[in-house]
Amino acid sequence: MIIKKIQIDNYLCYYDTNAFELSEGLNIILGENGEGKTKFFEAVDWLFNGESRELEMLVSAKKLNETEIGESFRVRVSMTVEQYGEKSIITKSFLAKKEKANECSTSSFMIEGISENSSGERTQVDGQALLDRIFPYQIRKYSMFKGEAELNIFESDSALANLINLFSEAKHYDKYSEKGAFLREKAEKAVEDSSKLDKKNEVNYKRLEADILQLENKKHAFKVHLNSTDEEIKKIEENLQDAERHVNNADALETINNRIKNIENQISNHSARIYENYTTFLFDENWILVNFETFHKEFAEKVSTHSKTKRELQSEYDKQKGIIEGVKKAKAELLNNAIPLPNNVPSKAVMEEMLNDEICKVCNREAKRGSEPYEFMMKRLKTYLESQVIEESEPNKDEPLFKFDYINRLDNLSISHEDNLKNLRLIRTKIKELFEFNDDRKKDIEELNEQLEKEKTEREKILGNSSIGAEKLSDVLKNYNAWQRDLKNRNQDQVDYTTKLKSLESELKAKKEEKDKIDTSSANSFLIKTRNILRDIETIFIETKEKKFDEFIEKLQTKSNNFFKSINIDAFTGTIVFRRRNKVNRTIVEVELQEDGRTFYKPNQSLLTSMHISILFAISELASEIKEENFPMIFDAPTSSFGENKTAQFLNLIFETENQKILLIKDFLHTDKTTKTLSIKKEFENVRRNKAFWVKLERPFDPNNLKTINSQVITL
C-alpha cells in the first residue's frame, strides 16, 4: 500500500484545499513549531481513528470567519492510496454551518470510500470497511507515532500479543492448543470416572485429587509472589539507576557496588556453611555418647566381677555335685558294684543291739569298739537315722545353678560397646572440629562485615560528590541505601520463591504419577491410551507454539539490530535485546539496550530513539514479509534529540530502506533574527529524500487571532 496523496480542507490551520502529493519512498515535511506540521499528523490520525464528537473544534477559524451566517462548508481529510495496481480514495468529512459570529453547528459526518480499478471505473464503497481492508487497524498501530515518547511500543504489556497475532506463526497454534487442552481435559475426566468405579482405589484417588489441587493452588500463589517480586526488583533497580545519575564518579560507584555485592555474597556463603543445629547432632550423630567411655569402663568392670562370681559359684556347685557323684561311685566300688542293702536293713534295734554287744550278728564276728567293723555298723546306723529326717525342700538334682543367661548377655553387650569405642572416641574430635569450623566462619563474617562497612563508607563518599543540593542529596543517600537493602531482600525472596516453585513442581509431578498408576491399574485401557495420545498432542502444540514464538522474537531482534547499526553507523550502539518473561498467565517482552552482555544503564535519548525507530522499522519489514504488502510509516518529530548532523545522517540512511516513510521534522530551518524571515538551510540540499514539503504559516498573521492563520504547503 502506497499513500499517493493526502488532501486537507478547512481542517484547523489548513484553510481551503491543501494537497500533499507523496512519493513511494522517503517523504520529509519540514515545519517549525506552531506552523502546521503537527496538525498534518493530527489530520491523518483523525482520518484513521477520529470520531464524530466535538467536530466544531476541528473547523478552520479563517474559513468560518469568511463564511456568511447560515451558509455551510465541508471540513474534509482524504487519502488516495494505491494497492495491487488499484486506487482507493478514503474521505472523512462533516458539514459546518455558521450559526453566528465565531460559532457553527456540525452535521453530515461521514466516511466515504471510492474504489477505482485498473480500467478507471469507480465504485462507491463503505469507507470504514475500505480503510480497514487496505490499512488494517492493527498495522496502523505500528505505523503512526507522535514524538519520541510514543516510539517505545513495548511499554505496553499488550504490544507483544498484538505483534504475535499480526506477524508470528505462533498465533496459528493458539486455537489448536486450546482445542488440544479441551480434548485432553475431557479424556482426563473420562479416565478419572473410570478409575473411580474401582471402589478399592476410591479413597486414595480422592486424596490424590485433593493433594494435586492444593499443590496447584500453592504453585499459582508462588508464581504470583515471584512475579510481584520481579516487578519490585525492576522498580528498585530503576530507582537505583535514577539515583546514580547524580553521582559524578559513576565508574567508581559501579566498582564499589561490585565489591560490596561480592562481599555480601561471601558473607551469605559463609553464613550458609555455618551449621549450629547441635541438638540434631546429639542424637543423629551420637554426640550424646561423647562421655560414654567412663560409664562403659564401670559397666565392664561390674560385668567382669559378676562373670567371675558366677564362674566361682558354678565351679563350687560343680565340685559339690562331683563329690556326691564320687561318694556314690566309691560306695559302689566298695560293694564291688553290688546293689547295697536298704538303709533299714538291719533294723535300727538290731543295729543298736549289735553295737552294744560289740558283735556283728549278721556274720557272727566280733566287732570291738573303735574297730573297723564297729565303725562300719555305726555309719550304717547314722545313714539310716539321716534318711528318716524330712527336709523342707529337696532340690531337683537336674536343675542348673543359673537358670538364665543374663551374665553372658551382659558380656556380649560389653564386648559390642568395646568394639564401638573407637568411633565414639572420634566424636569429641568431630565436635571440636565443627565448633572450630563455625568459629572460623564467624570470624570470617566479622572481618567481611568490617570490610563491608568500609566499602559502604567509601560509597557514601562517592555519592557525596553529587551535583544536587545537600538536602536532596540526603534523601538520595537515604533512599539509595534503603533501596540497596530492599534489592538484597527481594533478590533473596526471588531465590526462595524459585526454589519453592521447583519443589512444588517436583511434588506435583510425583502426585500425578501416583494418580496415573492408579488409572493404569483401574481405568479402561482404551481411555488411558486415548488420554495419553491427547496429552502428547497438546504438548506438541504448546512446544511448537513456543518454538515459533522464540523464532519470531529472534527474527525481530536480528532485524532491529541490523537497522540499529545502520542508523548509528560509526557510532556506539550496543545491542538491542528482547527479554521474554512470564507474568502469571501471560508472556511479556521487555526491550533493553546491552553493552557487552550487560544492561546499558541510562542511554541518552538520541540512542533510545534510534533503538525504538529500529524496532519499528523491523516490524514494518516483518509486515512486508508476512503480509506480502508494504505499509507506510508516519512519524511526527521522531528525532528531536538528534541534532541536525545526526538527523541528516539518519535521513540519508533510512532513504536506503524500503517502504514508504513520512517524517515531519523541524530541522534545517533558519529564522533571521532581524527580519524574522524563515528559510531552509543549505545543509538540507545534502539530505537524500524522494520528496520534500515545507509547511509554514502564511505571512503576515496575528499570533493572537486564529482567523488569520493558514498553513501553506510548499513542495520543494
What pLDDT digit, counting tens, does each position of 635-668 carry? Answer: 888 777 777 887 887 888 778 777 788 999 888 8
- What's the average model confidence in pLDDT over 23-35? 90
C-alpha to C-alpha distance for 131 and 48, rounded to whole angstroms: 8
State the pLDDT at residue 616: 77
pLDDT category, 1, cuts 50, 70, 90?
A: confident
C-alpha to C-alpha distance for 669 and 160, rounded to whole angstroms: 38
Q: Which residue has the cell 528531536?
A: 640
What is the DSSP pairing of strand 669-671 with strand 103-116? Answer: unpaired
Q: Which residues contact 650 (CB under 8 A, 6 or more apart)?
A: 567, 610, 639, 642
> What is the number of residues in the chain?
716
What is the DSSP pairing of strand 691-697 with strand 711-715? Answer: antiparallel
State the pLDDT at residue 513: 84
- What's the average model confidence in pLDDT over 407-419? 77
Between 347 and 455, whose confidence is greater? 455
Domain ranges in the chain are: 1-135+631-716, 295-407
State the pLDDT at residue 576: 86
State the pLDDT at residue 652: 83
Between 305 and 398, whose confidence is greater? 305
State the pLDDT at residue 322: 78
pLDDT category, 81, cuts 50, 70, 90?
A: very high
State the pLDDT at residue 469: 42
Most confident among 221-235, 415-429, 556-570, 620-634 (mean pLDDT): 221-235
pLDDT higher than threshold 80 for residue 566: no
pLDDT category, 23, cuts 50, 70, 90?
A: very high
C-alpha to C-alpha distance for 88 and 92, rounded to whole angstroms: 13
The third-level CATH classification (topology) of the domain covering 1-135+631-716 is: Rossmann fold (3.40.50)
Q: Is 48 in contact with 140 (CB distance < 8 Å)?
A: yes
Is residue 667 exposed (0-12), middle (13-18) or buried (19+ Cβ within 10 Å)? buried
- What's the average model confidence in pLDDT over 566-586? 71
Single-letter code of the amino acid located at 74: R
Nearest to 99 by CA among 130, 47, 142, 56: 56
State the pLDDT at residue 186: 83
State the pLDDT at residue 310: 80
> pLDDT tens for residues 687-711?
999 999 999 988 888 888 888 888 9
pLDDT category, 421, cuts 50, 70, 90?
A: confident
| DSSP structure string for 440-484 | HHHHHHHHHHHHHHHHHHHHHHHHHSBSS-HHHHHHHHHHHHHHH
C-alpha to C-alpha distance for 402 and 407, rounded to whole angstroms: 10
Residues forming a β-bridge with 5: 21, 80
Instruction: Give the up-direction half-sphere exposure of residue 290: CA atoms within 13 A in the CB hemisphere.
Output: 13
Q: Which of 160-174, 228-242, 269-283, 351-365 has the lowest mean pLDDT?
A: 160-174
State the pLDDT at residue 471: 47
pLDDT category, 19, cuts 50, 70, 90?
A: very high
pLDDT higher than threshold 60 for residue 394: no
> b/e map of 601-629 (b: 16 or more CB within 10 Å)?
bebeebbbbbbbbbbbbbbbbbbeeeeee
- What's the average model confidence in pLDDT over 361-389? 81
> pLDDT tens for residues 167-186?
555 455 566 677 777 787 88
Q: Which residue has the cell 543367661?
A: 405
State the pLDDT at residue 393: 45
State the pLDDT at residue 587: 67
> pLDDT tens for residues 30-44?
998 888 888 999 999
State the pLDDT at residue 10: 94
C-alpha to C-alpha distance for 154 and 150, rounded to whole angstroms: 10
> pLDDT tens for residues 536-555?
887 887 777 778 778 878 88
Angstrom distances, CA of residue 702 to CA of 488, 705, 707: 61, 5, 8
Share of the chain above pLDDT 90, in %: 14
Say whether the peptide bond before residue 340 is cis (omega within 30 degrees of 0): no
Nearest to 115 by CA among 74, 82, 148, 93: 82
Q: Which residue has the cell 488532501?
A: 7
Nearest to 685 by CA among 24, 229, 2, 28: 28
pLDDT category, 219, cuts 50, 70, 90?
A: confident
- What's the average model confidence in pLDDT over 10-24? 93
State the pLDDT at residue 237: 78
- Inter-axis angle of helices 172-196 and 470-522, nearest 10: 50
Q: What is the mean pLDDT of the chain?
A: 80
State the pLDDT at residue 72: 94
State the pLDDT at residue 248: 47
State the pLDDT at residue 167: 57
Q: Which residue has the cell 462548508?
A: 73
Q: Is 658 in contact with 621 (CB distance < 8 Å)?
A: yes
pLDDT category, 63, cuts 50, 70, 90?
A: very high
- What's the average model confidence in pLDDT over 670-677? 83
Q: Which residue has the cell 543374663?
A: 406
pLDDT higher than threshold 60 for residue 161: no
pLDDT category, 610, cuts 50, 70, 90?
A: confident
Q: Is 65 in contact with 707 (CB distance < 8 Å)?
A: yes
Most confident among 93-97, 253-257, 548-552, 707-711 (mean pLDDT): 93-97
- Cell numbers at 130, concatenated: 475500505
C-alpha to C-alpha distance for 173 and 544, rounded to whole angstroms: 8
Between 355 and 603, whose confidence is greater? 355
* Stated pTM of the model: 0.52
